[in-house]
Chain A
């Protein structure tokens, strides 16, 4: 994320900005930011659900719980996304 923003950001030499290149790079950065956002929130939620008292290692049952929690968090994310999207569709139809 750091670096390359000012120097070569959509700049294919000659000081002229290439819109196509900028769009590509912005898309990549958005995808990275979204993945980080998801990772951070998922880690927080699954840590709370699965790690009661932090022990000497991440034991087997904790790993199983985390794996399950990750899958459920993705299900929840997709459910929320679908619900929000259909709400927007409904409101647009009522305008």
Chain B
């Protein structure tokens, strides 16, 4: 059908561009959801004492901070790994691709 889509789909022949877009969007959404599951579980341990009749403001603030610091931690580690990679590569090839 569409010659421009030939590079993306290896061995699948023609891929419906609409379908391809759908898969990309859903993959993004799923990544988001997956991280929400993971962070909820992690922050639950840090922020939740005994489940009460409602989520109090202290716990809610803890959850928000927990999410922010988790992402900060992830970015910090990524940055630091990149920095150390530049000065003295530990993984010569394994991380490059």
Contact = CB atoms under 8 A, between A and B. Distances in A.
Contacts of A46: 51
Interface in B5-60: 16, 18-19, 22-23, 26, 29-30, 32-37, 39-41, 43-44, 47-48, 50-55, 59-60
B44 A79 contact: no
A81 B32 CA distance: 8
Interface stretch (B64-72, B79-87, B89-97): B64-72
A87 B67 contact: yes
A77 B55 contact: no
A30 B48 CA distance: 28
A32 interface: no
Contacts of B37: 34, 37-38, 41, 77
* Interface residues of chain B: helix, strand, loop or mixed (majority): helix
Contacts, number: 84
Contact of A80 (B16, B22, B40, B52): B40
Interface string A50-92: 0000000000000001001101110111011101110110000
A73 B22 contact: no
A13 interface: no
Given A41-B40, A76-B40, A81-B36, A87 B48 contact: no
A21 B44 CA distance: 38
